[in-house]
Amino acid sequence: MNWIIRDARLFLPEGEREGDAWIVNGRWAAFGQIPSCAHGLAVQAKGAYLLPGLIDTHVHFREPGLTHKGNFYTESRAAVAGGVTTVFDMPNTYPPTTTLERWEAKLQAIMGRSWANFGLYFGATADNLSDIRRLDPHRVPGVKVFLAASTGELLLDNEEIVRRILRESPVRLLFHSEREVIVQAARAKWESHSWEEVPDLHTKARPSEACIESTRWLLQEAHQGTVPFHILHVTTAEEVGMLAERPPTVSAETCPVYLQWSAEDFSTYRNLLKCNPSLKYHRDREALWQGLMAGILDTVGTDHAPHLLEEKKLPYPQAPSGVPSLGFLLPWLWQLGQQRGVPLQFWLEKMVYAPARLWRLRDRGPLCEGYWADAVLFHPTGQTHVPEEHSPLHYGKCRWSPLNGAVLPGAISHVWVNGELSFAHGRFQGAPAGRPVELG
């Protein structure tokens, strides 16, 4: 089906302009002054922003094995409702995605069920280097390496094996950068305590030093290895400082959770903000913002990690780590940007243009003629109401957010995925239109 979007403010790579947009057979055919022969169903934008769909290169959709928390169908719905049209899913499931057979089985299980386009990461273990060497760089966006334990069973803290992967992987590596021995020592000291005793309990149980020492080691190894890698969910001021001197093969991200909150907020949210790495302190949050604006941190990924609210209400040691972050992402980013005085183009750079460049996405990302039509119609003067817990308007399966009850500026009215209208005025349209990404 073809579409004409009339009278929009177009956010094009070369800048903003007023005009129309035309979608033909799932791809962009024209922007601005479209041909008089253009035909298709029309949407009147009335000056709303036509944006490229966001690309979230860091999500945990919990399939297979943890589908009581979420699955690809439910969590990709939340992604699209929040303005995200492409996601890259992590491998720490049950079983973990650590063999070629499991990767293919996961792909086939998702086909036809994802509302967003998707890529599937592979997980590194101590004994699967032979499979890693055989990964197809046109299909697999990267290999995730957990240098410290988090949700799931994946952990690889053998430095010599990591060095071999840094030399031999055919695809980008992604690192959960904490030093396991420091985390284990801190957990032994602090996990018997309660939030009432220690208001910043999780930050003490997963301290800054674990991140700093791990990232320092990775940056040293980057000078010896040949494989590009991405450091995930950066949380500390010291890491931002080190990354300012990184070699060109290294990139890095942070997450909205760390930009909105800090360890000082644990007194209010407690387990709801328990995630790994932990939130650090106010000074660290300010450094993350400075690193983003200076280009030291290349991307923003949500680390969307749904857990049931009942699980989050368990005592601290038993409560799982992870925060659901999709469903209302674009209005949330819009609010954060307004508070910091950064324009919407800032978020497009961090969640569209930079991911498309780093992962060499084929025909996806910016609004360009010939590219797949993944787009969001965003009304900056609207409002988005985040529902209270358990509401079906959360879209994701766990049905809660730390933003519960907030009123965010801006509203999404339409989302197209591969030229198919997938979301309009709060309702999902048709069937899931997401496809596996192709990498250049």
Over residues 100-109, the pLDDT tens digits come to: 999 999 999 9
Over residues 283-295, the pLDDT tens digits come to: 999 999 999 999 9
Over residues 317-330, the pLDDT tens digits come to: 999 999 999 999 99
Residue 378: pLDDT above 90? yes
Residue 299, strand partner residues: 253
Residue 438: pLDDT above 90? yes
| Dihedral pair phi/psi, residue 262, rounded to 5° | -145, 180
The pLDDT score that the predictor gives to residue 141 is 98
Rounded alpha-carbon distances, angstroms, from residue 372 to 24, 25, 348: 10, 9, 17
Confidence of residue 224 (pLDDT cuts 50, 70, 90): confident
| Among 22, 17, 8, residue whose Cα is nearest residue 378 | 8
Q: Which residue has the tokens 């801006």?
A: 410
How far apart (Å, rounded) are the C-alpha atoms in residues 336 and 254?
A: 14
- Average pLDDT rounded to a whole number, residues 160-167: 95
The pLDDT score that the predictor gives to residue 152 is 62
Residue 153: pLDDT above 80? no
Confidence of residue 149 (pLDDT cuts 50, 70, 90): confident
How far apart (Å, rounded) are the C-alpha atoms in residues 391 and 380?
A: 24
Task: Provide the 3-class DSSP secondary structure of residue 51.
Answer: strand
Residue 118, strand partner residues: 87, 436
pLDDT-above-90 percentage for the chain? 96
- Average pLDDT rounded to a whole number, residues 203-227: 95
C-beta of residue 147 within 8 angstroms of C-beta of residue 184: no
The pLDDT score that the predictor gives to residue 154 is 86
Over residues 380-410, the pLDDT tens digits come to: 999 999 999 999 999 999 999 999 999 999 9
Q: Tokens standing for 293?
A: 């604006």
Task: Provide the 3-class DSSP secondary structure of residue 105.
Answer: helix
- Average pLDDT rounded to a whole number, residues 359-372: 98
The pLDDT score that the predictor gives to residue 150 is 74
Residue 94: pLDDT above 90? yes
How far apart (Å, rounded) are the C-alpha atoms in residues 189 and 205?
A: 8
Whole-number mean pLDDT of the chain?
Answer: 96
- Average pLDDT rounded to a whole number, residues 189-209: 96
Domains assigned to the chain: 3-51+367-428 (2.30.40.10), 53-358 (3.20.20.140)
Over residues 261-288, the pLDDT tens digits come to: 999 999 999 999 999 999 999 999 999 9
The pLDDT score that the predictor gives to residue 298 is 98
| Beta-carbon contacts of residue 411 (< 8 Å; ≥ 6 apart) | 331, 378, 379, 382, 383, 384
Task: Record the pTM.
Answer: 0.97
What length is written for the chain?
A: 440
C-beta of residue 365 within 8 angstroms of C-beta of residue 351: no
